[in-house]
């Protein structure tokens, strides 16, 4: 008798790989197309704004060009008409912009309105100098960042992951580039005579500028990576690896591979900022770089040179943005596609001594404010550059005004403006980062344009003021936060409980706002607090260049700028405002390290709401 074979139910045949992969391929192609379109439209918009700037400012471009060529020549109607005829200004801004764009497509960037020389060779030469300086600065960034990451990595390997107070990183980030450049110039070049003080004669000329640019940037990158290492060390896989006896080298490598991808876009933005934001450093050391050349062109309204400089900065920003995105995807590998990523929650333990650093910084700022209330920040009744004494605790400035009174009474406006810009940048960056493909172009362009150029644009339209400086800094400070948000969103949407939501009928907008946004809002907020020193320093830099608050306003940046010419003979006029900025930075960063683990609570709510269905009251 033949035995009966039980029936076997076979699973349904799987679809061919080519068919299952087609929707994902179409999505990736559509996303790439959107990013490309975003970049193209943004570049065109920026070029149009730059081209129309002389007319938007309400000033006659012909008069500006005439003054730039010869300050002694009288601006007669005949002379102005000759300039307009020579430059084609009589045809109007749109016709001039159209001719310039047509020439650029043929590789001709035109001739300088001021010098009459070809624009492209000089712009490429300046770009080469800036890229070389950027390379030296990036070496400094990596070295400083490595030194800051080691303590966090060592703590995780010892089984005690925690976020440090970040006081050292905040102090480095709070040092203004132009202040570092001046201090290095005076101390190393003038007093010690070790390195060239001015010009560009080779690698030796890049050492001091690289230190001035790399130390603050290295503090920022190191703090971001150290924080990511500490939070990643609280994940379950670290405990599993440790219990399984994994070698420390392998665990350290895994931690870095987990922590670095989310901050890689930030590193790319920092690299671009080293090129675009080095205007003050290039000016201090008289380096013929692209930032200095573009700033000079903006001041003289040399439109062809300004357009070429901005295009090169934008192209470099786009190139580095693509490179960092490709690198991040390569590092994540199949984890992002397989849904194996988890947004790390804040697993650190806040100890009592961790509160000591922000409390100390807060007390110092409070003492500064209270001590300055009794004095008059405008009365020039002290000795000129008088040193600190019992009656004059912080000394006097070059006009004989009490420095303590100026710093104390200027703290309110300075801190309030920086905080307001940070919060506005946080909101804009968070919303823009939720749609990274659509905002790819604006993010890269905003980061490629340093605050100085944004300040020049705003000042040309509205005049120099504290409000104009705040708007200018906001125009460029939201980009890093949007990039950080986009990196975290990419990891959040790859999680299993998020990827299954569309199958359950949850709309894309609800997924983003109700499930993804709560997971990324906390880390991005900490990033915004971390960038408070940079915002304060950007405002100070605009004040240093005369694009922010005007004298005799007791703004910290303006006080610092007024003391820069006297740093060698009266260092207290620079040390006092610089230490105030450092205290503010240390307070912001160390206080943000005490933030509770909000993402964990929001994550559990997000993960269970759709899967478990409605709950009974």
What tens digit of pLDDT does each residue of 396-409 get? 888 889 888 888 88
| Structure tokens given for 208 | 């001091």
SS3 call for 57: coil
> Which one has a higher pLDDT value, 25 or 9?
25
> Could you give the C-alpha distances from 473 to 166, 455, 538, 574, in angstroms and in order?
24, 7, 7, 23
Cis, bond preceding 380 (omega within 30 deg of 0): no
Q: How many residues does this entry show for the chain?
A: 617
The rounded Cα 535 to chain-centroid distance in angstroms is 9
pLDDT in tens, 252-286: 888 888 788 777 766 766 776 676 567 778 877 88
**Range with the poorest average pLDDT among 109-123, 231-245, 329-343, 477-491:** 329-343
Query: What 8-state DSSP symbol labels residue 596?
Result: -
HSE-up of 7 (CA within 13 Å, CB side)?
Answer: 2
Number of other CB atoms surrounding residue 31 within 10 Å: 14
Tell whether pTM > 0.75: no
Which residue, 369, 432, 399, is CA-closest to 552? 399
Contact present, 112 and 304 (Cβ < 8 Å): yes
3-state secondary structure 401-439: CEHHHHHHHHHHHHHHHHHHHHHHHHHHHHHHHCCCCCC
Contact present, 470 and 421 (Cβ < 8 Å): yes
> Could you give the C-alpha distances from 521 to 74, 233, 334, in angstroms and in order?
58, 20, 25
Q: How many percent of the chain have pLDDT more than 70?
A: 76
**Range with the poorest average pLDDT among 198-202, 546-550, 597-601:** 597-601
What pLDDT does residue 411 have?
82
3-state secondary structure 428-492: HHHHHHCCCCCCHHHHHHHHHCCHHHHHHHHHHHHCCCHHHHHHHHHHHHHHHHHHHHHHHHHHH
| Structure tokens given for 541 | 């830099």
> 143 falls in which pLDDT band (50, 70, 90)?
very high
pLDDT in tens, 439-455: 888 887 787 677 777 88
Number of other CB atoms surrounding residue 68 within 10 Å: 18
Cα distance between residue 192 and residue 489, in whole Å: 50
What pLDDT does residue 62 have?
75
Beta bridge partners of 396: 402
3-state secondary structure 7-33: CCCCCCCCCCHHHHHHHHHHHHHHHHH
What pLDDT does residue 275 have?
64
> Could you give the C-alpha distances from 6 to 1, 106, 408, in angstroms and in order?
15, 76, 88
């Amino acid at each position: 008798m033949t035995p009966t074979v039980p029936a076997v139910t076979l699973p349904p045949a799987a679809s061919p790989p080519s068919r299952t992969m087609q929707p994902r391929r179409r999505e990736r192609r559509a996303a790439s197309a959107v990013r490309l379109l975003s970049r193209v439209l943004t570049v065109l918009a920026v070029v149009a704004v730059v081209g129309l700037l002389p007319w938007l400012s309400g000033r006659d471009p012909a008069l500006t060009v005439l003054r730039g060529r010869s300050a002694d020549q009288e601006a007669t109607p005949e002379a102005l008409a000759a300039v307009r005829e020579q430059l084609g200004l009589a045809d109007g801004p749109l016709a001039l912009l159209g001719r310039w764009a047509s020439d650029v497509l043929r590789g001709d960037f035109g001739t300088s309105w001021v010098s009459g020389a070809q624009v492209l060779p000089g712009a490429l030469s300046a770009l080469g100098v800036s890229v070389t300086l950027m390379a030296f600065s990036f070496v400094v960034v990596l070295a400083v960042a490595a030194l800051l990451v080691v303590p966090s990595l060592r703590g995780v390997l010892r089984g005690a992951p925690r976020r440090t107070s970040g006081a050292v990183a905040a102090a480095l980030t709070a040092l203004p580039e132009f202040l570092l450049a001046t201090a290095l110039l005076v101390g190393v070049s003038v007093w010690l005579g070790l390195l060239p003080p001015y010009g560009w004669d080779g690698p030796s000329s890049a050492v001091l500028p690289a230190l001035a640019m790399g130390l603050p940037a290295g503090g920022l990158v190191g703090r971001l990576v150290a924080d990511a290492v500490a939070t990643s060390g609280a994940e379950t896989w670290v405990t599993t690896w440790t219990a399984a006896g994994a070698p420390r080298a392998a665990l350290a490598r895994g931690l870095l591979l987990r922590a670095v991808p989310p901050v890689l876009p930030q590193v790319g933005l920092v690299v671009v900022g080293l090129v675009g934001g080095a205007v003050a450093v290039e000016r201090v050391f008289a380096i013929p770089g692209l930032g200095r050349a573009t700033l000079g062109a903006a001041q003289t309204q040399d439109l062809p040179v300004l357009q070429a400089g901005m295009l090169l900065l934008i192209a470099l920003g786009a190139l580095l943005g693509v490179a960092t995105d490709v690198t991040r995807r390569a590092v994540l590998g199949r984890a992002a596609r397989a849904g194996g990523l988890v947004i790390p929650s804040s697993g650190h333990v806040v100890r009592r001594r961790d509160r000591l650093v922000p409390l100390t910084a807060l007390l110092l700022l409070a003492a500064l404010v209270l001590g300055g209330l009794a004095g008059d920040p405008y009365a020039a009744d002290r000795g000129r550059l008088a040193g600190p004494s019992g009656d004059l605790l912080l000394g006097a400035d070059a006009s004989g005004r009490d420095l303590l009174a100026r710093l104390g009474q200027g703290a309110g406006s300075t801190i309030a403006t920086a905080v307001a810009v940070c919060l506005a940048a946080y909101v804009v960056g968070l919303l823009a980062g939720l749609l990274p493909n659509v905002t790819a172009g604006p993010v890269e362009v905003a980061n490629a344009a340093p605050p100085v150029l944004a300040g020049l644009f705003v000042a040309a339209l509205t005049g120099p003021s504290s409000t104009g400086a705040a708007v200018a800094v906001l125009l460029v400070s939201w980009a890093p936060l949007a990039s950080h948000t986009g990196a975290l969103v990419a990891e959040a949407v790859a999680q299993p409980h998020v990827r299954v939501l569309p199958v359950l009928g949850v709309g894309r907008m609800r997924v983003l706002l109700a499930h993804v946004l709560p997971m990324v809002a906390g880390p991005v907020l900490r990033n915004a607090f971390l960038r408070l020193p940079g915002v304060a320093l950007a405002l100070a830099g605009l004040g240093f260049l005369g694009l922010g608050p005007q004298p005799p306003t007791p703004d910290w940046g303006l006080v610092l700028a007024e003391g820069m010419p006297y740093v060698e003979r009266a260092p207290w006029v620079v040390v006092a405002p610089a230490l105030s900025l450092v205290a503010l930075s240390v307070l912001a960063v160390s206080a943000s390290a005490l933030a509770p683990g909000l993402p964990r609570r929001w994550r559990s709510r997000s993960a269970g709401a759709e899967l478990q269905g409605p709950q009974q009251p």
